[in-house]
Amino acid sequence: MSAQRTSYHGQWSSRWIFIMAATGSAVGLGNIWKFPYMAGENGGGAFVLVYLACIATIGLPVMIGEILIGRRGRQSPINTMRALVADGSHWAGWRFVGWLGVLAGFLILSFYSVVAGWSLSYVGEAASGAFVGADSATITALFNDLKGDPWRLLFWHTLFMVLTIGVVARGVQSGLEQAVRYLMPALFLLLVVLTGYAMQSSGFDEGLAFLLRPDFGALSADGILAAMGQAFFTLSLGMGAIMVYGSYLPGDASIPRTAATIALMDTTVALLAGIAIFPLVFTHGLSPGSGPGLIFETLPLAFGAMPGGVFFGTLFFLLLVFAAWTSAISLIEPMVAYLVENRDWGRVPAAVASGGAAWVVGLGSVVSLNVASGFDIFFGLTWFGFADYLTSNIMLPLGGLLIAIFAGWVMPRSAVMEEVGLTGLLFRVWYGLIRYITPVGVGIIFLHATGLIGG
Ligand code: TRP
């Protein structure tokens, strides 16, 4: 009965396009901006190891679950959950998963757009030659000036949100597909170039050792929570983005193969970013734990010193903007699809309303970097830090946990098997992971971080 649903919003033209779109969603600021600074703040190697373990044992199984739920329901996450609940007469409260995701998407986009705005502004800085021959004091001052100026931040935040709304308004095929087809491969190539540059720097060995040699003494319970949160964040899991993309996936595409490809590409990009950045940190005597400004304070040094740096620097920040753009569109797509389905809105007003709401919430992040930087929302976090912490470390893992329980325990095994297309040992491995390892893993890390167990 349910397997033959078709999506009201259209379909990806092929499995490959879905992979590109989902990779476009997954690869973004999370890989290039967030992963390096979080690894830096949490002591490096041990964080990276926990992060990789979370990708393999929690992230990948949940991604398969999230795509299969989406394709089974073929609607916005809210309506997909409603439809699957109705299919099996399950508890109606499961719809909450869809709403939790919509809320998380708004919150993430609100600060994501501000950071994407930094990248936009750095396209101009790079092109104007501002990095050429600059030392680290100059580069740090450049970043602090930007952060300290609410009007400039507002301008770039607004521009980025307009770009995001523009693509989402155009719909699945003409809007989303075109944005990812060429830009992802280009970004990847440029990262390889940067990594090559880093390999020649004097801090390469130290940088690589920092990133890859685990020092578990440097990893706190909150660091473990952050590594798990980052695994969800970087794969775009737990809020319905991958679910709604899955709802546009052709019925004959293999979900596990697709998910594995996406996770592999995403992880490769994050590791490459780390390998490009940490050698620079050590070569220039900077601190790996300097926080969210890390890539904006290190990469310009490399561009300022390398031949062709104006060109490479401009191109890099431009591609970073594109990577952020293809991620941002997936953050409001669940809400947009819902408004189109249930309120009969056109895609244009739905995109404007959703993006506009995230823009307003983002104003809080803009001012929390300057005029309101002393304003403590929650345990020493500013609004910017709080929105990030709440979504990455709590809402996404919670959403992922619920998705895992729904796919692993609530949906009938036959429906799950039919949709996921795995048999034999592979099916048992995945089913075991999503039924036991994911819920227990997320649960333990939650309890550990709140101090209820362990130290
Ligand atoms: N994964 C993206 C990144 O790494 C961000 C992102 C896009 C996201 N859609 C998401 C994060 C959905 C969580 C949920 O930059």
DSSP string for residues in 353-364: HHHHHHHHHHHH
Which residues contact residue 3 at a Cβ distance below 8 angstroms, ignoring those fewer than 6 apart? 72, 251, 415, 418, 419
**Ligand 1 close to Cβ of residue 233 (< 6 A):** yes
Provide mean pLDDT across the span 192-208: 92
Residue 330 CB–ligand 1 contact under 6 Å: yes
Q: What is the pLDDT of residue 376?
A: 78
Using 50, 70 and 90 to split pLDDT, how confident is the model at 60?
very high
Q: How sure is the predictor about 173, in pLDDT bands with cuts at 50, 70 and 90?
A: low
CA of 243 to the centre of ligand 1 (A): 13
What letter represents residue 430's amino acid? W
Mean pLDDT of 382-408: 93
Least confident piece of the model among 114-123, 243-252, 358-367: 243-252
Looking at residue 14, its pLDDT comes to 78
| Segment 278-302 mean pLDDT | 91
Give percent of the chain with pLDDT exceeding 70: 96
How confident is the model over 96-110, as a mean pLDDT?
94
Asked whether 79 and 338 are in contact (CB, 8 A), the reply is: yes
Residue 214 has pLDDT above 50, yes or no: yes
CA distances 206 to 43, 44, 198, 210, 218, Å, are: 13, 11, 11, 6, 16
Residue 239 alpha carbon, nearest atom of ligand 1: 14
Place of tokens 């753009």: 325
> Could you tell me the distance, in angstroms and rounded to a whole number, from the CA of residue 121 to the centre of ligand 1?
21
Structure tokens at 390: 């709440």
Residue nearest to atom 14 of ligand 1 (CA): 236
Residues with Cβ within 8 Å of 453's Cβ and at least 6 positions away in sequence, in order, are 444, 447
- Of 230, 261, 239, the closest CA to residue 39 belongs to 230
Q: Give distance in angstroms: CA of 328 to centre of ligand 1.
A: 7
Q: Which helix (H) or strand (E) holds 277?
A: helix 255-283
How far apart CA 180 and CA 362 sit, in angstroms, is 25
- Tens of pLDDT along 225-253? 999 999 999 999 999 999 998 998 888 88
Q: Which two tokens stand for residue 20?
A: 């590109």
Return the pLDDT at 238.
Answer: 94
Would you give the DSSP letter of residue 13?
A: S
Range from 13-22, 51-60, 263-272 carrying the lowest mean pLDDT: 13-22
Ligand 1 atom with the smallest distance to the CA of 35 is 4
Give the lowest-confidence range in 1-15, 303-317, 406-420: 1-15
In this prediction, residues 182-192 reach a mean pLDDT of 84
Q: Averaging pLDDT over each range in 157-166, 213-222, 337-346, which range is the top one?
A: 157-166
* Confidence check: pLDDT of 1 > 60: no
Residue range 158-178: mean pLDDT, rounded: 82
Return d(Cα 142, Cα 126) in angstroms, integer.
Answer: 11
**In angstroms, what is the span from residue 432 Cα to ligand 1's centroid?**
26
Least confident interval from 219-223, 265-269, 403-407? 219-223
Amino acid at 61: P
DSSP states of 287-299: -TT--TTHHHHHH
Residue with the nearest Cα to atom 13 of ligand 1? 236
Check: CB of residue 117 under 8 Å from CB of residue 157: yes
Ligand 1 midpoint to CA 131 (Å): 29
Calculate the average pLDDT of the chain.
91
SS3 content of the chain, % helix, strand, coil (to 5): 80, 0, 20
Say how many CA atoms lie within 13 Å of 59 toward its Cβ.
Answer: 26
106 CA from centroid of ligand 1 (Å): 12
Instruction: Kindly state the greatest CA–CA separation across the chain.
Output: 66
284 Cα–ligand 1 center, Å: 31
Across the range 201-225, mean pLDDT stands at 92
Q: What is the pLDDT of residue 2?
A: 46
Separation of 308 CA from ligand 1 center, angstroms?
Answer: 31
Q: How far, in Å, CA of 126 to CA of 123, rounded? A: 5
pLDDT at residue 172, rounded to an integer? 60
Of 409, 201, 214, whose CA–CA distance to 306 is shortest? 201
- Calculate how far, in angstroms, residue 25's C-alpha sits from the geometric centre of ligand 1: 6
User: What's the average model confidence in pLDDT over 192-198?
Assistant: 90
Contact 20, 180 (CB under 8 A): yes
CB 363 within 8 A of CB 117: no
Half-sphere exposure for 67 (CA within 13 Å, toward CB): 29
A 10 A CB-CB count for 137 gives: 8
Ligand 1 center to residue 161 CA distance, Å? 15
Structure tokens at 230: 């980052």
**What residue owns the CA closest to ligand 1's atom 10?**
236
Number of CB atoms found within 10 A of residue 16's CB: 13
17-35 burial code (b ≥16 CB/10 A, e <16): bbbbbbbbbbbbbbbbbbb
If one residue of 58, 111, 187, 236 were mutated to test the ligand 1 pocket, choosing by the most ligand atoms within 8 A of its CB, it would be: 236
Q: Which atom of ligand 1 is nearest to the CA of 241?
A: 12
With cut-offs at 50, 70 and 90, classify the pLDDT of residue 3.
Answer: low
Determine what percent of the chain is predicted with pLDDT higher than 90.
Answer: 67
391 lines ligand 1 (CB under 6 A): no
Quote the pLDDT of residue 73. Answer: 92
pLDDT tier for residue 174 given thresholds of 50, 70 and 90: low
Q: Which two tokens stand for residue 173?
A: 């095929």
175 neighbors 167 (Cβ within 8 angstroms): yes
The two tokens of residue 32 are: 């290039």
Amino acid identity of residue 391, one-letter, is T
Q: Check residue 218 and give its pLDDT.
A: 87
What region does 379 belong to: left with phi over 0, alpha with psi -120 to 50, or beta? Answer: left
Asked if residue 326 has its Cβ within 6 Å of ligand 1, the reply is no
Give nearest CA residue, ligand 1 atom 4: 30
CA distance 224 to 50: 7
Average pLDDT over residues 433-448: 92
Examine the pLDDT at 455 and tell me if it is beyond 60: no
